[in-house]
Amino acid sequence: MTRSIGMAADATVFRAVITMQTRDGKTITTYEGPYGSIGAARARVSFWTNYLADRDPGTCEPTGTSRASGYVERGTVTWQRVLGSA
């Protein structure tokens, strides 16, 4: 998916850091972003927490636990020209 990140030098950006537990017990950490707002990064953490929610086998209702968790990191962008790119 193409994302527009045309922003000012030293702009603040956000990324979602997601930790997922696979069914075989392995832990995986992924990073999504950059996003221009903290809300967009938080939404990705919420998505994965809800998507990988543990469900009751009888009712399929969420149990309140999940195989995913995460947090948001803030950073700044430093743009530099890449030699030989044009």
Predicted confidence at residue 6, as pLDDT, reads: 64
Residues 35-44 have a mean pLDDT of 95
For residue range 21-35, list pLDDT tens digits in order: 998 999 999 999 999
Give 2's pLDDT tier (boundaries 50, 70, 90). Answer: very low
Q: Which residue has the higher pLDDT, 9 or 78?
A: 78
Higher pLDDT, 8 or 38: 38
Other residues' Cβ atoms within 10 Å of the Cβ of residue 1:
2
Measure the CA–CA gap between 56 and 33, rounded to whole angstroms.
Answer: 32
